[in-house]
């Protein structure tokens, strides 16, 4: 079996990708400092605890496992945190990536799958958003992802390091078998926050902005199931291992859901009503983000399998089970 190093493999999308890799015959080797990840999410391969800024540790781990490719999830992800501490954010996301790439280069690993984001696009100028959309991020988080994309493009051009950059939209849902799910501390993502409200763990759900120029005044987002994202990462690895060229791909369903529509769906799936309050817009939020996923279908034969109701149902089952334990 082939080893794949998964930096950040104890996190939300990373752990689901490890599950998918294992199911498809790979051995996922998780490298994570567990600042946002969870050791109990590492179930399908070994765990090596370390920071991606620790170059000697990375060198040791890569020499030990000799991975055929690296999937890079290890990054801070909160937009608010990026605005409050830009220097610290760049240190983790950019400096850490450079350390990881230097260790890969030293070991001759020349195939990288990078977890990027639609945040690199910034405010939409056209919808849905294709890979050729201008990349003008509006916060340090999005800029940190764009910087890494540009580094990878230079490595491809000058060093022959091939990469698949995956710009995904709003990850959501959980493993349908309930083995892993979405767990952030503190929680800031809409679906788990709303589910926690439905479960009585929060007094209300706060909608950030109700005056956007959308069909009901709330933001529009493209929610894609985490296992669909995981499937795309494995397909990206297979693309590189089979000699495929470097490419950047959008991962989304191509369908936008407003926050109000999302809340109605959660109330319907859970069978519970809950209090909703409306606040001011949040700095750095775009009115609408919807993917054009045509290129991903063409290059890696990827299509999302889960609809919005399935996304919410798997998330609800995960959070309801955790709450009952």
| Rounded Cα distance, 84 and 74, in Å | 20
Q: Whose structure tokens read 């939409």?
A: 124
- 303: tokens are 């299509």
Taking the alpha carbons of 121, 127, 133, 134 in that order, is the dihedral positive or negative? negative
Q: Is 141 considered catalytic here?
A: yes
CB 168 within 8 A of CB 119: no
> Which one is catalytic: 12, 31, 121, 141?
141
- 201: tokens are 């763990």
Q: Which long-range contacts (CB under 8 A, 24 or more apart) does 125-132 make?
A: 127/256, 127/288, 127/290, 128/222, 128/252, 128/254, 128/290, 128/291, 128/292, 129/250, 129/289, 129/290, 129/291, 129/292, 130/250, 130/292, 130/294, 130/295, 131/167, 131/248, 131/249, 131/250, 131/292, 131/295
- 150: tokens are 């540009």
What's the order of all strands across the beta sheet hosting 247-251?
A: 47-49, 26-32, 2-7, 69-72, 111-117, 162-168, 247-251
| Rounded Cα distance, 90 and 97, in Å | 10
- Catalytic annotation, residues: 141
């Amino acid at each position: 079996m082939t080893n794949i190093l998964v930096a950040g493999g104890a996190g939300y999308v990373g752990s689901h990708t490890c599950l998918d890799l294992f199911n498809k015959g790979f051995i996922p080797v998780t490298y994570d400092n567990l600042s946002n990840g969870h050791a109990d999410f590492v179930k399908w391969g070994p765990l090596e605890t370390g920071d991606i800024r620790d170059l000697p540790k990375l060198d040791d781990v890569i020499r030990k496992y000799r991975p055929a490719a690296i999937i890079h999830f290890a990054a801070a992800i909160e937009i608010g945190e990026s605005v409050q501490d830009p220097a610290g954010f760049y240190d983790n996301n950019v400096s850490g990536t450079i350390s990881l790439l230097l260790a890969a280069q030293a070991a001759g690993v020349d195939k990288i799958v990078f977890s990027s984001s639609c945040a690199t696009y910034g405010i939409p100028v056209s919808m849905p958003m294709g890979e050729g959309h201008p990349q003008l991020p509006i916060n340090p988080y999005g800029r940190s992802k764009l910087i890494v994309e540009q580094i990878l493009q230079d490595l491809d051009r000058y060093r022959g390091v091939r990469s698949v950059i995956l710009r995904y939209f709003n990850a959501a849902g959980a493993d349908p078998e309930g083995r892993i799910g979405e767990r952030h501390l503190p929680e800031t993502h809409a679906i788990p926050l709303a589910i926690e409200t439905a479960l009585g763990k929060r007094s209300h759900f706060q909608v950030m902005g109700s005056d956007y120029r959308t069909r009901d005044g709330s933001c529009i987002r493209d929610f894609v199931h985490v296992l669909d994202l995981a499937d795309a990462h494995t397909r990206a690895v297979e693309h590189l291992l089979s000699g495929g060229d470097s490419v950047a791909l959008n991962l989304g369903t191509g369908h936008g859901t407003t926050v109000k529509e999302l809340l109605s769906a959660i109330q319907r799936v859970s069978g519970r009503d809950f209090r909703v309050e409306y606040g001011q817009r949040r700095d750095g939020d775009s009115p609408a983000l919807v993917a054009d996923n045509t290129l991903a279908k063409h290059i890696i034969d990827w299509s999302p399998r889960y609809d919005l109701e399935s996304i919410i149902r798997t998330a609800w089952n995960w959070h309801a089970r955790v709450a009952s334990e």
